[in-house]
Amino acid sequence: MYRALVEHDPAFEGIFFVGVTSTGIFCSPTCRVKTPKRENVEFFPDPNAALHAGYRPCRRCRPLDRGHSAPPLLAELLAAVDEDPSNRWRDSDLSRRGIDPSTARRTFKRYCGMTFHAYHRARRMGLALAGVRQGKSMLDLQLDHGFESGSEFRTAFNRHVGAAPSRASAVDCLYARWFETPLGAMLALADDHGLALLEFVDRRGLERELEVLQRRLKRRILPGTHRFLTQIGEELAAYFAGRNLVFATPLALAGSPFQHAVWNALQAIPPGTTRSYADIAATVGRPSAVRAVGRANGDNRLCLIVPCHRVIGADGTLTGYGGGLWRKQWLLDHERAHAGSRGQLALEVPPRANESVLAAAS
């Protein structure tokens, strides 16, 4: 790998990433900055591993910007599953499409963090659960979604839901989707109530946050699609392109009345501007509750949309950010550059219709 790094070998683009211990920055192997000494580098299989190890992405080679390096195979596999989710997608089906099954497994695992078959199983179960809610019979669902026997369906169902299929009419789930952004992958969760979570996937404590959310909302999380996930995907693309900094996807915020008040105050901060914790505390009518405002800010699960990144220290320092300070800086720079006339539309955003729906569940 070091040889590939010295030679800027393009064959290794996307295969490994290199962290430079002396600068705390990680790069792709073809980065044109001066090649670091061997004793100052460590190698990672993917950008998330480098992020977890505490490195920030290089501004020059932008190792997180996978737009150019995401393998077409991944899109092909995801499209294949969506085209016919109930097909069982055995290795032979992949081979027939000219896809090498072991390459497919490796690629999928690297980019999605789970195997293709695990994704596909979860996707089929998600569809079956949607059928459960519409009151379809268990036998129909088992047959419709390609489960070969009643016991296989029951086992898969229990793994996801923890209840026997016969008691499943109350089962509800949150659909999960990944989005690639210039700042790294984001995970979004939504159901009919609205968008429940949007976070960078390397955020510290994300696993715990997901567990808490599953328990609190009494919902299982499954990969899938939902109209609100489609909508937020389009809005994220527009946001990162600087075309529109305002989000309109309905939100399902679960929190205490105080948290809601803080999150509403955050949403009223126009893009391209910042506020201090004390400003927000005053806005919610609790001028002495600066620390509690800080905590509610940190408890925000809707990154970017509830713009906790627009809150900075009274002295102008960035203070903290769950997604990493370099992201906070990037977002503020990006919003200042693109706010202009379009960003000010934030002032005209209508109140969110679904905000209080889940408040009772918390």
The residues that are catalytic are: 308
Least separation in angstroms between residue 335's CB and Zn ion is 24
Query: Which residues ranging from 55 to 74 are in contact with Zn ion (CB under 5 A)?
Result: 58, 60-61
H helical segments located in the chain:
2-6, 47-52, 72-83, 91-96, 101-112, 116-133, 138-144, 150-161, 206-217, 227-240, 257-267, 277-283, 290-298, 325-338, 340-343
Asked whether position 27 contacts Zn ion by CB under 5 A, the answer is yes
What tokens were used for 180?
């690639």
Residue 175 phi/psi, 5° resolution?
-95, 140
Total chain residues near Zn ion (CB under 5 A): 5
Residue 327 one-letter amino acid: R
Query: Which residues ranging from 307 to 326 are in contact with Zn ion (CB under 5 A)?
Result: none
Indicate the residue among 32 and 136 with the shorter CB distance to Zn ion.
32
Select from 18, 31, 188, 232 the one that contacts Zn ion (CB under 5 A). Answer: 31
Asked whether position 41 contacts Zn ion by CB under 5 A, the answer is no
Indicate the residue among 17 and 247 with the shorter CB distance to Zn ion.
17
Q: Considering only the stretches 6-14, 24-32, 202-210, 227-235, report the one whose residues sit in contact with Zn ion under the rule CB under 5 A.
A: 24-32
With a CB cutoff of 8 Å and minimum separation 6, the contacts of 230 are none
Q: Considering only the stretches 23-31, 97-105, 174-182, 209-217, report the one whose residues sit in contact with Zn ion under the rule CB under 5 A.
A: 23-31
Least separation in angstroms between residue 338's CB and Zn ion is 24
Least separation in angstroms between residue 28's CB and Zn ion is 6
Indicate the residue among 41 and 187 with the shorter CB distance to Zn ion.
41
Q: Which residues pair with 57 in a beta bridge?
A: 26
With a CB cutoff of 8 Å and minimum separation 6, the contacts of 16 are 1, 4, 29, 43, 44, 45
What tokens were used for 90?
């055995």
Asked whether position 18 contacts Zn ion by CB under 5 A, the answer is no
Indicate the residue among 8 and 117 with the shorter CB distance to Zn ion.
8
With a CB cutoff of 8 Å and minimum separation 6, the contacts of 158 are 164
User: Which residues contact Zn ion by CB under 5 A?
Assistant: 27, 31, 58, 60-61
